[in-house]
Chain A
């Protein structure tokens, strides 16, 4: 298990509404080391989620280049991007988005259906992923039988079950109380420190941001400023 480095060069992204160009990212440069935990912050409309989608191959830049590990995403078509995502990226969303009719284990197994893998091997991977997030005793529960924090843990297990290089989290604690948020963020730290996953997390919460190593502030589509988090700065000192 290891992460991948990420490099964005002069990335531009614009959306069009009624033929009107709405620039979201405007010549952004950003480099993230393999195994780094970077937090994206900024006001609404600053381009945080767009950046996350570009790194995750969910969207393509209007200009510039996006490299994740060996993959140059700006050169890939949608089909190639989808295939690449299934191998290299794990997504965590604010609202978890588990399939309500499947159990926790089945939700975690979902991305593995895209792999040629025996059912025994799938089961093994699911058990491991749920064990990592501390939910091996809830594997046969459906989402409506779990708390919000537990649902997010299942979503994290789903994100890591394919052993991706990069984990992209879009406000993963936005819908959770303070205590549960802390548990989820500690889990993200574990994935980063123990499994060396490269993590890119969007959040509005300054306290949550302190769980990362570096905070990147975006404003109006450009990198406004960067800072090391207190914990990491202290560690370096």
Chain B
């Protein structure tokens, strides 16, 4: 027999209470691991985005307001020497869905000439560039979208736009994109989209967004300060952001999920610390006499302190694992990558999240067990034994 064995046996003293305490750790820890995974995914995405040196220019009023096509030339004119802007790409929301399916694919029409330059990180081959340039119906598809619908390069697909005039257009998949952050999107040629809209009577072309690919960070910061004043006091005032700020805005359109999850998780973990602390205090009070006997037969105060604290930490760890393992298993079994919205779609089990959650569970276990452990340490053996007599 060892002290660890005694500890484990103590946890069996009141199995229902142990189970409920473990579950009170398990549920918030499950949420916590998901929330932290999300935050880790966002940090990763932000780092990727920041490296791309892109600026997003949209209508100051709302992203859905289209800006005139001519603004691209006006933006390009801000850098006549072409030393700061590598390319400008206009983008229009297509919002296609496969017929008779409910989910909208994050699909956008992009300028044919500059799209491969502005989104060069997706790894174009010469043949793919040529196909994109020559084939009006060309589209590049993120690997998650392709997997979801069973598409591969060379397929012909038909998508129905979710915005008026709700065109049903045929496309030719020329490339499957595996680059992180682009795996849930589909890009088509805007010229093909605009022509089809014109045929349907929608004569005003436009872009929801212009992406500026900058030469360096200094150019990006300078242009960010120049674009909005250029269009100030015009019917098309703009809002210019770097890619991370744009993505953050975009994510917040669906609600600040990470923030919300983090806040909920923090509150719940705090409550759990109180509940666990209360449970540990109850457990300590029930065993005051027993701990007094431990001290009477020669267990030092420090050892009794460690026994009570270890019990709390074990409870917290077991509870946390009960939450973390099923959450991780669920995320592995049912990945969210098919959800269109970033960063939720990039949520996957993060070892960092698991590590942080276990560390937090440890901390909660220590905090919850500290007071009863201190009381056990300071327990006046004589006074506790007097209660017996």
Taken residue by residue from 75 to 93, chain A's Cβ proximity to chain B (1 for < 8 Å, 0 otherwise) reads as 0001100110111000101
The verdict on B3 contacting chain A, using a C-beta distance below 8 Å, is yes
Say how far B234's CB is from chain A's closest CB, in angstroms: 79
**Interface 9-mer from A3-11, A63-71, A104-112, A228-236:** A104-112
Say how far A87's CB is from chain B's closest CB, in angstroms: 8
Name the B residues within 8 Å of A86 (CB-CB).
Answer: 297-299
Give the docked Cα–Cα distance between A83 and B295 (Å). 10
Contact indicator B299/A171 (Cβ below 8 Å): no
Contact indicator B299/A114 (Cβ below 8 Å): yes
Name the A residues within 8 Å of B289 (CB-CB).
Answer: 95, 97
Secondary structure at the A interface, as helix, strand, loop or mixed, is helix
B 172-214 contacts with A by CB, 8 A:
none
**Interface 9-mer from A28-36, A51-59, A210-218:** A51-59
Give the docked Cα–Cα distance between A56 and B300 (Å). 15
The verdict on A113 contacting chain B, using a C-beta distance below 8 Å, is yes
The verdict on A146 contacting chain B, using a C-beta distance below 8 Å, is no
Contact indicator B13/A95 (Cβ below 8 Å): no
Give the docked Cα–Cα distance between A53 and B384 (Å). 12
Q: A111 is contacted by which of B2, B297, B300, B386 (Cβ under 8 Å)?
A: B297
The verdict on B12 contacting chain A, using a C-beta distance below 8 Å, is yes
Say how far A125's CB is from chain B's closest CB, in angstroms: 12
Contact A100:B6 (CB < 8 A) given known A82-B299, A94-B389: no
Secondary structure at the B interface, as helix, strand, loop or mixed, is helix
The verdict on B74 contacting chain A, using a C-beta distance below 8 Å, is no
Give the docked Cα–Cα distance between A97 and B286 (Å). 12
Q: B388 is contacted by which of A79, A95, A101 (Cβ under 8 Å)?
A: A95
Closest to A79 in B: B300
The verdict on A99 contacting chain B, using a C-beta distance below 8 Å, is yes
The verdict on B101 contacting chain A, using a C-beta distance below 8 Å, is no
* Shortest 10 CB-CB contacts between residues of A and residues of B: A86-B298, A101-B9, A97-B293, A111-B297, A59-B382, A85-B298, A53-B382, A91-B296, A101-B13, A114-B298
Contact A110:B297 (CB < 8 A) given known A97-B290, A101-B10: yes
Name the B residues within 8 Å of A78 (CB-CB).
Answer: 301
Q: B1 is contacted by which of A53, A58, A97, A109 (Cβ under 8 Å)?
A: A109
The verdict on A158 contacting chain B, using a C-beta distance below 8 Å, is yes
Give A contacts to B, CB under 8 Å.
49, 53, 56, 58-59, 78-79, 82-83, 85-87, 91, 93-95, 97, 99-102, 106, 109-111, 113-114, 119, 122, 158, 170-171
Contact indicator A85/B1 (Cβ below 8 Å): no
Name the A residues within 8 Å of B381 (CB-CB).
Answer: 58
Contact indicator A91/B293 (Cβ below 8 Å): yes
Name the A residues within 8 Å of B6 (CB-CB).
Answer: 99, 102, 106, 110, 113
Q: B295 is contacted by which of A49, A82, A171 (Cβ under 8 Å)?
A: A82
Please list 5 pairs of residues, one from A and one from B, whose beta carbons are closer than 8 Å in the complex, sorted by A's number.
A85-B296, A85-B297, A102-B9, A111-B297, A122-B1
Give B contacts to A, CB under 8 Å.
1-3, 6, 9-10, 12-13, 289-290, 293-301, 381-382, 385-386, 388-389
Say how far B79's CB is from chain A's closest CB, in angstroms: 77
Which residue of B1, B300, B389 has the most chain A CB atoms within 10 A of its CB atom?
Answer: B1
Q: A93 is contacted by which of B10, B293, B294, B382 (Cβ under 8 Å)?
A: B293
With A58-B385, A82-B298, A113-B6 known, 15 other A-B pairs at CB within 8 A are A53-B385, A56-B296, A58-B296, A79-B301, A91-B293, A91-B297, A93-B385, A97-B388, A100-B13, A106-B1, A106-B6, A109-B1, A113-B2, A114-B298, A170-B385
Name the A residues within 8 Å of B385 (CB-CB).
Answer: 49, 53, 58, 93, 170
Give the docked Cα–Cα distance between A109 and B289 (Å). 19
Contact A111:B298 (CB < 8 A) given known A91-B293, A93-B293, A99-B290: yes
Give the docked Cα–Cα distance between A101 and B295 (Å). 18
Name the A residues within 8 Å of B10 (CB-CB).
Answer: 101
Name the B residues within 8 Å of A99 (CB-CB).
Answer: 6, 9, 290
Closest to A161 in B: B297
Give the docked Cα–Cα distance between A110 and B59 (Å). 75
Give the docked Cα–Cα distance between A59 and B301 (Å). 14
Closest to A49 in B: B389
Closest to A86 in B: B298
Contact indicator B296/A83 (Cβ below 8 Å): no
Name the A residues within 8 Å of B12 (CB-CB).
Answer: 101
Closest to B13 in A: A101
Closest to B5 in A: A106
Contact A58:B382 (CB < 8 A) given known A85-B297, A91-B296, A106-B1: yes
Give the docked Cα–Cα distance between A114 and B3 (Å). 10
Say how far B11's CB is from chain A's closest CB, in angstroms: 9
Give the docked Cα–Cα distance between A101 and B10 (Å). 7
Closest to B287 in A: A99
